[in-house]
Amino acid sequence: MFSSMTQASRKMSSIVLYHFPPSAPCRFALMTARTLGLDVEIKKVNLLQKEQFKEEFLKINPQHSVPTIQDGDFTIWDSHAISTYLVGKYGEGSSLYPHDLRERALVDQKLYFDATVVFTRIRAVCVPFIYGSATSVPDDLKKSVVDALELLDTFLKGKTWLVGEKLTLADIANAASVSNAEVVGYDLSQHPNVNSWYERCKSSIKGFDENLKGAADFAALIKVNHPGPLFP
């Protein structure tokens, strides 16, 4: 439940999200906002056309990265920082980022796992095909993704969600990254716990339909240079 004060602040929010739909981190930030019921103005930034280097965007974010949000006179980037900020400001009473210190630490741990393992390894396989610099996936990179999702499968053993008994930011972040692997041919059924969890994410996370559309855009960029699946 959100307090009446929180509900009012959500209605009055003027959040602008600088967004590139194929990006899993961008979709994580967007799904967080959707799950909180926030109205968000989306401004697309085409990374492939180098719009992130335009002077007007560099004034907003000199690190030239997306997602970036502007909330009134406050600007922040990095999907994990954005999502925790949004819950902190607009998600009073939300279980997305628990107040309990130990539970929050576990959510942070799984957020860092997404940032440094799941997202990073999937990106290492896929991005070279977007830029036409690869013709096949090296076996060691394929194995690194399998190992990452096997770890995720272990974390989910006997559990509904990654942390505790409710959906958290950890689930949203990792689901956004996993969707990029699935759309380029990764068979999630080889990890039964991940497969079941991912289906729950599809039905439980608000805005997941937008996430899947963005993931399809990601796959389309790859198919320009590699029509077949990356994980046959």
* Side-chain half-sphere exposure of 177, counting CA atoms within 13 A: 29
Residues annotated as catalytic (active site), given as ranges: 23
In sign, the C-alpha dihedral spanning 6, 88, 148, 166 is negative
Antiparallel, parallel or unpaired: β 15-19 and 40-44: parallel
Q: Terminal CA-to-CA distance of the chain, rounded, Å?
A: 44
Q: Judging by beta carbons within 10 Å of its beta carbon (0-12, 13-18, 19+), is residue 11 exposed, middle or buried?
A: exposed
The single residue listed with the structure tokens 């079941």 is 196
Burial category of 9 from C-beta neighbours within 10 Å (exposed 0-12, middle 13-18, buried 19 and up): middle
CA separation for the pair 63, 61 (Å, rounded):
5
Asked if 30 and 39 touch (Cβ cutoff 8 Å), the reply is no
